[in-house]
Amino acid sequence: MLTLTRAVGEKILIGDDIVIEVRAVVDSTHVRIAVEAPRQIPVHRAEHFAAVSQANREAAVTLTVGDESLLHEIKREPATVTLEGDAKESITSET
């Protein structure tokens, strides 16, 4: 890990297209930074990314053999949608 000291307004360049700028010193333990990166490069706060990843793992459903056969039955049934308002007809589509 590289540790740098920067003053407000100074920037750090990562490669050709990522810029990190120190915007403000908020208090003795916090700074405000700006990250400029191409849209295709995800930028996440590490603590939020870890919390979302953990919540996703906890919400994941493990299928048992019985559940798996039920899931196949559900997928075989065509979905029926009833429209309200001007379009008062039923539409059936295969899922």
**How confident is the model over 14-29, as pLDDT tens digits?**
999 999 999 999 998 9
31 found inside a domain: yes
Number of domains in the chain: 1
25 found inside a domain: yes
3 found inside a domain: no
Question: In this structure, what is the dihedral angle of CA atoms 61, 62, 64, 67, given to the nearest 10 degrees?
Answer: 20
pLDDT of residue 93: 47
Expressed as residue numbers, the domain containing 77 is: 11-38+54-93
What phi and psi, each to the nearest 5 degrees, are found at residue 53?
Answer: -60, -45
Q: Which parts of the chain have pLDDT scores under 70?
A: 61-95
